[in-house]
């Protein structure tokens, strides 16, 4: 089926549309096609939202992003950015992109690199000078502008990568696993930066396999499993929830948690044995209350671990379902 080339505005309210995307990579010397990396993925990203692609490793997130950016040629399907066919370079006039592992020319200093990208974006000399300084400041690299890329740490490169993605004040910001490999502070800075970009009016599309990262900022999430779009969930109306799992050793004198514990709706007792209690609780306030109760009961808390909320449960359940279908019965 041939698709007409669209130029102009996309569907009302959407900045990015992916329609029936399919991509299979060629493998081996003869270039045989293997299993599709992405199959029949269709989605629309609304202006001004933060849209996440969530999936396990190999789910097709990066391939989808690369197809959007024209880096891989889809076997089938049509992608438009602001109504312009994504295969055309003009579609990327107002797009910023951060790859999963940004690679840059090692010999260049940060500001030289940004100046080069500014030229590719068609910015004037004055605009390049101004935006380079602004973007480096935005990612906390203003004092490292003259540092050569080869002398930068992974975190610094990630920041420079973000700076180049922001250079043209993009209407659509696409990020591939922006928080992977960053320390907690770095993750928080990236999150804050993305939220600031959203406030500016940018639309953000990012991929991740880390559910809490998605839950923290995404308005909607597309769950990809084995190259297929499982579902799209709206998280914007969902109250922020954070699930914690607590592992505690019961006091020597205690036998089982009292019925008061079991009946308290603020948490769930998942396991109670003579030497271990496992309790799940949603929300930081409830966590505090539970820790106070455990302290009062003289139970030794061994572990408190943040977990995803409903989204993680759904995501994992979907993966387990797929896995169960794949494993042949004995």
Q: Which residues are near another protein by CB under 8 A?
A: 25, 66, 69-73, 89-93, 95, 97, 99, 101-105, 107, 116-117, 119-122, 161, 164
72, 78, 222, 282 from 98: Cα distances, Å:
16, 22, 19, 33
CB of 183 to another protein, least distance (A): 23
Distances (CA, A) of 304 to 41, 279, 297: 38, 10, 17
Residues in the chain: 330
Q: To the nearest whole angstrom, how small is the minimum distance from the Cβ of residue 119 to another protein?
A: 4
State the nearest-atom distance from the C-beta of 325 to another protein, in Å. 29
Cβ proximity to another protein: between 96 and 250 the closer is: 96
Q: How far is the CB of 118 from another protein (least distance, A)?
A: 9
* Residue with Cβ nearer another protein (117 or 267): 117
The whole-angstrom separation of Cα 138 and Cα 162 is 9
CA separation for the pair 11, 290 (Å, rounded): 49
- Considering beta carbons, is residue 150 or 276 the nearer one to another protein? 150
Residue 198's alpha-carbon distances to 27, 47, 252, 326, in angstroms, are 39, 10, 52, 39
Give 90 or 271: the residue with its C-beta nearer to another protein. 90
Q: Which residues contact 205 (CB under 8 A, 6 or more apart)?
A: 16, 45, 51, 52, 53, 65, 68, 172, 173, 174, 175
- For 67-90, the DSSP string reads HHTTSS--SEEEEEETTEETTSGG
Cβ at position 66, least distance to another protein in Å: 7
**Smaller CB separation from another protein, 71 or 306:** 71
Kindly state the DSSP code that residue 109 receives in the 8-state scheme: B
Least Å distance, CB 89 to another protein, is 4
C-beta closer to another protein: residue 157 or 242: 157
Helix H or strand E encompassing 148: none
Cβ closest to another protein, residue 72 vs residue 142: 72
For residues 175 and 95, the answer to whether their CB atoms sit within 8 Å is: no
- C-alpha distance from residue 140 to each of 108, 111, 179 (Å): 18, 13, 16
């Amino acid at each position: 089926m041939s698709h007409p080339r669209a130029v102009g505005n996309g569907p009302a309210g959407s900045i990015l549309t992916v329609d029936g995307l399919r991509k299979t990579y060629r493998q081996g010397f003869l270039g045989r096609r293997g299993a599709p990396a992405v199959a029949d993925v269709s989605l629309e990203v609304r202006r001004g939202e933060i849209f996440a692609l969530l999936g396990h490793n190999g789910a097709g997130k990066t391939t989808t992003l690369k197809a959007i950016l024209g880096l891989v040629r889809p076997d089938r399907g049509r992608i438009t950015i602001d109504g312009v066919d994504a295969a055309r370079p003009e579609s990327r006039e107002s797009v910023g992109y951060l790859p999963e592992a940004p690679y840059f020319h090692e010999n260049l200093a940060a500001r030289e690199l940004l100046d080069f990208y500014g030229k590719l974006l068609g910015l004037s000399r004055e605009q390049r000078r101004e935006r380079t300084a602004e973007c480096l400041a935005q990612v906390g690299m203003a004092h490292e502008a003259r540092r050569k890329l080869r002398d930068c740490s992974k975190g610094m490169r990630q920041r420079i990568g973000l700076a180049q993605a922001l250079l043209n004040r993009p209407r659509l910001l696409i990020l591939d696993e922006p928080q992977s490999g960053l320390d907690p502070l770095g993750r928080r800075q990236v999150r804050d930066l993305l939220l600031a970009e959203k406030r500016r009016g940018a639309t953000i599309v990012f991929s991740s396999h880390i559910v809490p990262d998605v839950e923290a900022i995404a308005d909607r999430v597309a769950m990809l499993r084995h190259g297929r779009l499982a579902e799209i969930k709206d998280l914007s109306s969902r109250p922020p929830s954070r699930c914690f799992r607590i592992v505690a050793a019961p006091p020597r004198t205690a036998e089982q948690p009292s019925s008061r514990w079991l009946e308290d709706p603020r948490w769930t007792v998942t396991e109670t044995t003579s030497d271990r209690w496992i309790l799940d609780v949603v929300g930081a306030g409830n966590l505090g209350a539970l820790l106070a109760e455990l302290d009062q009961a003289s139970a030794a808390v061994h572990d408190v671990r943040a977990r995803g909320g409903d989204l993680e449960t759904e995501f994992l359940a979907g993966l387990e379902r797929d896995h169960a279908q794949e494993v042949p019965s004995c």
